[in-house]
Amino acid sequence: MATKKAITKKPKGIPKSPDSVPDSPTRWMPRGNIGARLPNVKTGFKTECIIPAASSIVPFSSSLALHPIAESLERRLSVLSELHTTPQVISNPNAMPWSSHVLMEMVAIDGKRKIGSGWVIGPRTIITAGHCVYDGGWMREILITPGGHGSQFTKRIRGIHWNTTDDWINGSTSALRESADVGVVYLDQDISIDTGILKYATYSDSVISRIPAGRISVAGFPADPYGTFLADSGTLRGYTASHLIYDIQTYKGQSGAPVLYWERDDSPTVIGIHHWDVTNNLNRAIRITPEAASLLLNWTA
């Protein structure tokens, strides 16, 4: 077996700066009210939680219309083997942005143990995929470790409250459910002073379609081999109103990981939440749309 290369800053293959600067996105920076109460979940979103709550947010919009980037799908699939990179082990999980990625260990409603990924959006708030908090029933227990095993966090941190969207649980179609596969986990302590907080943004179609090749990455915690923290970089291959599609290699356990866009100054911005595969070679994320950003903002504590 080939030895995996270690990285300390960003996945191999991400160039320095693109020749052109993309349009300025609308920024949705996390709030950061350390003493804030746990936010409620508004109308249209599930109120049954570990700690019951009531509230709601702007519902997700969904569309199945695929907007390919550049070539045809057939051509893109044929060249994936040439463009694909090899996932790399994160060697310094205590450095940003890796420190703000979290390993999630869950106990499902049937008692089975599951692995997921997430990211720090606020002092006590973790964003992940909806199926990492509700998968045929609410998770019975969620423990998180920022940076995973080998980080400065030697003890797991217990989630005290988690939630998802009503559409993920009760959506009338699979497309509707998959467009709302977003979840949140709240902690009983502020971890951001040690982990940092990832910024996120919503971009227009025109900006998304012009993101240069090789400038997005996904890092998370595969279930097998357990305990690893892997990152891979790649290229956007298409998008819809609610999803991003890319050629980045991922594994089970990385659902909920942030999709990072490495901008002109090499600073990472979250533009999606990894959650699904499309084919053996293409994977998909929930896109950070204005509606999604509104949800994240209201969930942040």
Q: Are 223 and 113 in contact (CB under 8 A)?
A: no
15 pLDDT tier (thresholds 50, 70, 90): very low
105 vs 253: CA distance, rounded Å: 9
Residue type (1 letter), 213:
A
The pLDDT, as a whole number, for residue 74 is 34
Residue type (1 letter), 177:
R
The pLDDT, as a whole number, for residue 85 is 58
CA geometry: angle at 283 spanning 279 and 289, to 5°? 135
Question: For residue 18, with 0-12 CB atoms within 10 Å meaning exposed, 13-18 middle and 19 or more buried, which class applies?
Answer: middle
Give the count of alpha carbons within 13 A of 81, CB side only: 2
Is the model more confident about 301 or about 191?
191
Any idea what DSSP says for residue 175?
H
Is residue 295 domain-resident? no
131 vs 128: CA distance, rounded Å: 8
CB 191: neighbour CB atoms within 10 A? 22
- Provide mean pLDDT across the span 6-24: 34
148 vs 21: CA distance, rounded Å: 34
Give, for 297, the enclosing helix (H) or strand (E).
helix 290-299
- Listed range (51-60, 158-167, 208-217) with the worst mean pLDDT: 51-60
220 vs 255: CA distance, rounded Å: 8
What is the tens place of the pLDDT at every residue in 168-181?
999 999 989 999 99
Q: In the chain, what percentage of residues exceed pLDDT 90? A: 50
226 pLDDT tier (thresholds 50, 70, 90): confident
Mean of the per-residue pLDDT values of the chain: 75
Does the structure show a pLDDT above 80 at 263? Answer: yes
The pLDDT, as a whole number, for residue 53 is 28
Is residue 141 domain-resident? yes
| Phi, psi for residue 8 in degrees, rounded to 5 | -120, -15
Q: Are 38 and 51 in contact (CB under 8 A)?
A: yes
Is residue 63 domain-resident? no
Is residue 93 domain-resident? no
177: domain CATH number?
2.40.10.10
What is the tens place of the pLDDT at every residue in 193-203?
999 999 999 99
Number of structural domains the chain divides into = 1
Host domain of residue 170 = 99-195
Long-range contacts for 279-283 (Cβ within 8 Å, ≥24 apart)? 279/77, 281/77, 281/80, 281/84, 281/247, 282/77, 282/80, 282/237, 282/245, 282/246, 282/247, 283/218, 283/245, 283/246, 283/247, 283/248, 283/249, 283/250
Is residue 160 domain-resident? yes
The pLDDT, as a whole number, for residue 87 is 80
Is residue 205 domain-resident? no
Report the relative pairing of strands 113-122 and 101-107 from DSSP bridges: antiparallel
Global pTM reads: 0.75
Is residue 157 domain-resident? yes
Strand arrangement of the beta sheet that strand 243-246 belongs to: 6-7, 88-90, 230-234, 216-220, 258-262, 268-277, 283-287, 243-246, 236-239, 67-68
DSSP letters for 43-89: TTS----SS------PPPP-----EE-SS-HHHHHHHHHHH----EE
Is residue 167 domain-resident? yes
Does the structure show a pLDDT above 60 at 36? Answer: no
What is the tens place of the pLDDT at every residue in 84-135?
457 888 888 888 999 999 999 999 999 999 999 999 999 999 999 999 999 9
The pLDDT, as a whole number, for residue 78 is 33
- Provide mean pLDDT across the span 271-294: 89
